[in-house]
């Protein structure tokens, strides 16, 4: 009987994220490609509306936003997906460089996802698997690293980061006023108006402190669940719940939208058109809201 060589270490690492059937892999990558292009286009349009004097000229931002919109439309044409992704990678790379040193983390993550699709997204037997595994590992690594950074910074163990945000940011203050006594909330809100050195910026309310711990514990503990088939579905649902809870306070559509799309790559089965339609509609609505309020 013929014997097959044992899988290499690289194959075993790639297979930790699952090995879906080839047709399912291609369908998921095609849906993710379109969602990712919509994402980077929405980010560029939002950048186009900024009025900060430190931003590049408006004409440059318009060219980048228009180019990414053209890439998104081109990806709808059969056989043009990889070329559209490659062109989008160049445009997003230019955007990342132009925004230095204030480039957002999600812009770098989006660029890495585009490059993965461009380099490994060919229509042959091996490349779809490599692209899928690379994108899945990208989520696991980035999410775990985010949780580790929160832990090592020490600003989440007593809720210092969130306490500062409550004191200085309306979006966090609105949410956390329901998670802590009114007296503590008012004290934190008053710290922002005092002289430097006022504090300490720490949370005392159990629910508020639990929210701070849930953020870094979730980012550290949930990604490994995606690497085991028996816990993969639960891990996807739990991570989506975590991102939704974070976005209630953070309200960062770009960050949340990209992480949701990457997380959905782990859900078994062919992608549903309704899910993709909802993602596209969410970005369109977010852009419309941004344009309407600027």
CA 158-159-161 angle, to 5 degrees, is 130
Instruction: Name the DSSP class of 178.
Output: T
Residue 251: its pLDDT value, please? 77
Cis peptide before 223 (omega within 30 of 0): no
pLDDT < 70: residue spans in the chain: 1-5, 7, 50-53, 121-127, 192-200, 291-294
The total of other beta-carbon atoms located within 10 Å of residue 293's CB is: 7
pLDDT, one tens digit per residue, over 30-64 is 999 999 999 999 998 887 776 666 777 888 888 99
Residue 1: its pLDDT value, please? 46
In the chain, where the domains are located: 21-159+203-293
Round to whole Å and give the CA distance between 169 and 56: 27
- Closest to 114 in 3D by CA, of 130, 90, 95: 90
Count helices and strands (H / E) in the chain: 13, 0
Round to whole Å and give the CA distance between 85 and 48: 21
Q: For the chain, how far is it from start to end, CA to CA, in angstroms?
A: 70
């Amino acid at each position: 009987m013929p014997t097959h060589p044992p899988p290499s270490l690289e194959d075993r690492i790639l297979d930790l994220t699952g090995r879906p059937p080839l047709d399912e892999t291609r369908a998921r990558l095609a849906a993710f490609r379109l969602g990712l292009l919509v994402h980077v286009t929405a980010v560029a349009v939002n950048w186009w509306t900024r009025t900060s004097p430190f931003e590049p000229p408006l004409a440059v931002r318009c060219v980048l936003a228009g180019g990414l919109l053209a890439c998104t439309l081109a990806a709808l044409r059969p056989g043009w997906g990889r070329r559209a992704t490659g062109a989008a990678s160049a445009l997003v790379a230019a955007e990342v460089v132009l925004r230095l040193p204030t480039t957002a983390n999600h812009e770098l993550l989006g660029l890495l996802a585009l490059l993965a699709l461009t380099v490994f997204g060919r229509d042959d037997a091996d490349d779809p698997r490599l692209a899928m595994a690379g994108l899945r590992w990208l989520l696991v690594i980035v999410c775990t690293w985010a949780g580790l950074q929160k832990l090592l910074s020490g600003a989440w163990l007593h809720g210092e980061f969130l306490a500062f945000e409550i004191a200085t940011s309306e979006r966090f203050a609105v949410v956390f006023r329901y998670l802590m006594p009114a007296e503590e909330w008012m004290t934190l809100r008053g710290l922002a108006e005092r002289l430097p050195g006022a504090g300490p910026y720490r949370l005392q309310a159990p629910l508020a402190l639990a929210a701070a711990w849930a953020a870094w514990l979730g980012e550290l503990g949930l990604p490994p669940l995606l690497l085991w088939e028996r816990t993969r579905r639960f891990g996807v649902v739990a991570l989506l719940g975590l991102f939704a809870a974070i976005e209630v306070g953070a309200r960062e559509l770009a960050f949340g939208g990209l992480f949701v799309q990457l997380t959905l790559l782990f859900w078994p089965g062919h992608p549903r058109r309704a899910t993709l339609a909802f993602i596209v509609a969410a970005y369109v609505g977010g852009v419309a809201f941004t344009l309407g309020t600027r």
